[in-house]
Amino acid sequence: MSPTATTTYPPQNPDLQKMLATIEDLPSIPETLMEILKVLDDPHSGAMDLAEVVRLDAPLMSKVLRLANSPYYCQRGNLADINRCISVLGYRTVRQVAICVTVATTVVSAVSQSKGRMDYRELWRHSVVTGAVAKYLAGMVAYPDPEEVFSAGLLHDMGKFVLELHSPQQYDKVIARRQETGRCLCVEEEEAFGFNHAQVGSTFGQSWRFPTLLTKAFGQHHDPVTGDPDTPEAQVVALVALADYLANTLVPPRSDLGFDPKLVDSVALHRNANLTVRQVEENLDQIREAVNLASAYLDLR
């Protein structure tokens, strides 16, 4: 990342809050997601509480069951109800799947109806690839909750979706200008809007009451790499940052999403994630297989 770009800012940036408030088409936090996050916050809640929330939202339950029965999660494909899903896949997995599905279907659906030129389908494809790679990397470093890292990777570029809703024509010009100048996308966004997509994503996550771990991944995945991550949040940020780079280089987007590998210190990204370039290269076949299996997330209609 260019040293002139930054994604650090006060937690309640008034300019970003104002921008979010002026987007007429930005959906409010879905009621189901609010209930899921309440379950997440309540130390006394558990699998039965989550099952009850999901069961009351028939479209969500249908999508969760479809994903749960995909090869990415279950080879047998015989999970017929949400209780069975939780029993076989685990509470944490189903919880993260439900969060991802709810956010993705709400935000991506809103962007699909905007009048912009951004290839939102390709951006979502990149998001899925990043999530799959991040989850695999989490397993390599024995992170205790790989599904948590998958969610952070899958949703890391929410800020781009929000900017597309905010100013679709202007955002198209920003991406085009990045091609002309060769500068990083965050710098171009900051000059055009006063903030970049990582900052927007973090503020959006706060407004939707996401856990801090997710909002930090949204907001810091382009921050300069410094030192060893010493907290779970820092670990997840490091894994998502590396996964974002690998997703752009192993499975290059089919349209311009604003990424330039020449502006990235890949060795530092690997080091910060507690991995070596060689370790990742030795697992490329397995990483690609994980990406292929995660394609079940590409169509959440």
Burial of 18 (0-12, 13-18, 19+ CB in 10 A): exposed
Kindly list the structural domains of the chain, giving each domain's residue range(s) and its CATH number in brackets, ordered by start.
1-25+116-301 (1.10.3210.10), 28-113 (no CATH)
- Tell me, what's the pLDDT at 225? 64
pLDDT of residue 199: 92
Q: Which residue type occupies 52?
A: E
Asked whether residue 6 carries a pLDDT value surpassing 90, the answer given is: no
User: Which residues does 275 contact at the CB level (< 8 Å), separation at least 6?
Assistant: 137, 140, 141, 242
Please identify which residue in the block is written with the tokens 């028939």.
58
- The more confidently predicted of residues 278 and 300 is 278
pLDDT single digits (tens) 238-260: 999 999 999 999 988 888 888 88
pLDDT at 5 > cutoff 70: no
Q: Does 34 score more than 80 pLDDT?
A: yes
- pLDDT beyond 60 at 11: no
> What is the full DSSP assignment across 48-112?
HHHHHHHHT-HHHHHHHHHHHTSTTT-SS----SHHHHHHHH-HHHHHHHHHHHHHHHHHHHHHH
Q: How confident is the model at residue 185, as a pLDDT? A: 92
Does position 3 have pLDDT exceeding 80, yes or no?
no
Average model confidence (pLDDT) for the chain?
Answer: 87
Is the entire prediction scored with pTM above 0.85? yes
pLDDT at 38 over 70: yes
Q: Which of 9-13, 16-20, 215-219 has the highest mean pLDDT?
A: 215-219
Q: Quick one: DSSP state of residue 30? A: P
Per-residue pLDDT, 228: 67
Which residues contact residue 230 at a Cβ distance below 8 angstroms, ignoring those fewer than 6 apart? none
Residues 136-140: contacts with CB under 8 Å, at least 24 apart: 136/283, 136/286, 136/287, 136/290, 137/239, 137/242, 137/243, 137/273, 137/275, 137/280, 138/239, 140/275, 140/279, 140/280, 140/283
Mean pLDDT to the nearest integer, 18-38: 76
Please write the tens of the pLDDT for every residue from 207-223.
888 889 999 999 999 98
64-92: per-residue pLDDT in tens? 999 999 999 987 778 899 999 998 899 88
Q: At what angle do helices 158-166 and 185-193 cross, to 10 degrees?
A: 40
Q: Which of 127-141, 174-188, 268-282 has the lowest mean pLDDT?
A: 174-188
| 237 and 218 Cβ atoms separated by less than 8 Å | no
Q: How far from chain centre, in Å, is Cα 72?
A: 17
In angstroms, rounded to a whole number, what is the distance separating the alpha carbons of residues 97 and 145? 13
| pLDDT above 50: residue 55 | yes
For the chain, give percent helix, strand, coil, nearest 5.
Answer: 65, 0, 35
The one-letter code for the residue type at 108 is V
Highest mean pLDDT among 16-25, 37-46, 106-115 belongs to 37-46
Q: Residue 30: what pLDDT?
A: 86
- Does residue 197 or residue 3 have the better pLDDT? 197
Out of 18-22, 127-131, 295-299, which region has the weakest mean confidence (pLDDT)? Answer: 18-22
